[in-house]
């Protein structure tokens, strides 16, 4: 008899497209998770999957560009944040169920804004739980849940392996989208420098036309412009949003590593999205493919663990 599988879907904003690829790979293998523990975008994708709304969620999320996102949300500045996500989540209310009705154990991880306590949501509305789990502080409004105000679960447990085990998973497969903080790669390795532009080497043979020589000159000038632009970009100071993104990545990376020491998964997938910004929803196909790839690379090991 196969062991019960717990799937942990970690935080990571638009990188969460990789979760879709992992789920597609599991479906291809004929493997259904017995437990799904999600944090932030992981709670969103896991919830949409269990509600049978994953295709609709993908269609909606693919439309999210930095500016068009405001068409789906409501810009409503108050003490809890800049953007009210309620209108977007209400669009999926017809798919909603109580977590207890899903047939698969599901948990969404949120953080108590008052105490910093990790809150594991395993009852009530799937949509409300996912919304609370993904309420990025300052950006999105905090979500009222009973007597608590909840925000993004990534502040407490970005890859909730411990929760999956508490819910009975015998084998835990975790997807960590923040294994390496990659947002500010352009500020690293400055000492190595950029490649020098080679000196022009124009054709010396009299048979070569002036048009060919001009083409070579133009090509080398274009290369030089690209190198100059790359150098200027590398030398530029971090701007506000880059700093915020990087800080979030670094924080989640260290927290996920610390939590993994105490609660290691049986398999940890780390999709390679080194240049992915949190708002890169337009790169869905690329990230889905990467999630599929990393799962299939571990297919044999997963099957052995499930059968042992």
Cα 113 → chain centroid: 22
Contact 200, 43 (CB under 8 A): no
pLDDT digits (tens, 9 = 90+) for 84-143: 566 667 778 899 999 999 999 999 999 999 999 999 999 999 999 999 999 888 777 889
pLDDT digits (tens, 9 = 90+) for 40-64: 999 999 999 999 998 888 887 777 6
Catalytic residues: 40, 152
Q: Give the 3-state secondary structure of residue 169.
A: coil
Q: Average per-residue pLDDT in the chain?
A: 80
pLDDT digits (tens, 9 = 90+) for 223-244: 777 676 556 555 667 666 666 6
298 vs 138: which has the higher pLDDT: 298
Question: Across-strand partners of 149?
Answer: 144
Cα 299 → chain centroid: 22
* 154 half-sphere exposure, CB direction, 13 A CA radius: 26
pLDDT digits (tens, 9 = 90+) for 181-218: 555 555 565 444 444 445 445 455 555 566 666 666 77
Total-model pTM? 0.77
Contact 8, 161 (CB under 8 A): yes
Residue 226, token pair as written in the block: 């690209």
> Which residue has tokens 């996912």?
130
CA dihedral sign of residues 15, 20, 23, 27: negative
% of the chain exceeding 70 in pLDDT: 72
pLDDT higher than 50, residue 73: no
**Which residue spans within the chain are E strands per DSSP?**
5-9, 35-39, 74-78, 81-84, 105-112, 118-121, 138-140, 143-145, 148-152, 171-175, 267-269
How far apart, in whole angstroms, are the C-alpha atoms of residue 148 and residue 111? 9
The pLDDT of 258-282, averaged and rounded, is 83
Tell me what pLDDT residue 5 has. 97
In this structure, the dihedral spanned by the alpha carbons of residues 88, 94, 98 and 103, taken in order and rounded to 10 degrees, is -110
Rounded to 10°, the helix 41-50/17-29 angle is 40
pLDDT digits (tens, 9 = 90+) for 101-112: 999 999 999 999
Nearest of 89, 146, 81 to residue 119 by alpha carbon: 146
Complete DSSP assignment for 242-265? HHHHHHHHHHHHHHHHHHHHHS--
Q: Assign 254 a pLDDT band (cuts: 50, 70, 90).
A: confident
């Amino acid at each position: 008899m196969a062991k019960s599988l717990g799937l942990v879907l970690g935080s990571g904003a638009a990188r969460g497209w990789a979760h879709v690829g992992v789920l597609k790979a599991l479906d291809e293998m004929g493997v259904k998770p017995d437990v799904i523990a999600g944090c932030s975008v992981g709670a969103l994708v896991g919830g949409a999957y269990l509600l049978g709304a994953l295709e609709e969620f993908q269609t909606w999320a693919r439309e999210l560009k930095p500016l068009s996102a405001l068409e789906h949300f409501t810009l409503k500045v108050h003490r809890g944040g800049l953007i009210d996500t309620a209108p977007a989540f209400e669009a999926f209310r017809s798919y909603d169920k109580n977590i207890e009705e899903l047939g698969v154990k599901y948990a969404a991880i949120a953080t108590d804004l008052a105490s910093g306590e990790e809150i594991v949501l395993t009852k009530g509305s799937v949509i409300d739980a996912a919304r609370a789990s993904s309420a990025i502080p300052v950006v999105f409004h905090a979500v009222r849940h009973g007597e608590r105000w909840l925000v993004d679960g990534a502040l407490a447990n970005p890859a909730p392996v411990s929760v999956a085990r508490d819910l009975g998973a015998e084998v835990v497969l975790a997807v960590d989208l923040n294994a390496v903080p990659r947002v500010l790669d352009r500020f690293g390795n400055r000492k190595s420098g950029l490649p020098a532009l080679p000196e022009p080497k124009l054709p010396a043979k009299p048979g070569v036309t002036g048009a060919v020589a001009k083409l070579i000159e133009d090509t080398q000038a274009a290369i030089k412009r690209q190198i100059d632009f790359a150098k200027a970009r590398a030398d530029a100071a971090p701007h506000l949003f880059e700093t915020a993104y990087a800080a979030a990545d670094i924080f989640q990376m260290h927290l996920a590593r610390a939590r993994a020491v105490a609660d290691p998964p049986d398999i940890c997938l780390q999709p390679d999205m080194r240049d992915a910004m949190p708002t890169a929803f337009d790169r869905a196909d690329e990230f889905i493919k990467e999630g599929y790839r990393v799962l299939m690379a571990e297919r044999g090991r997963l099957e052995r663990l499930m059968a042992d």
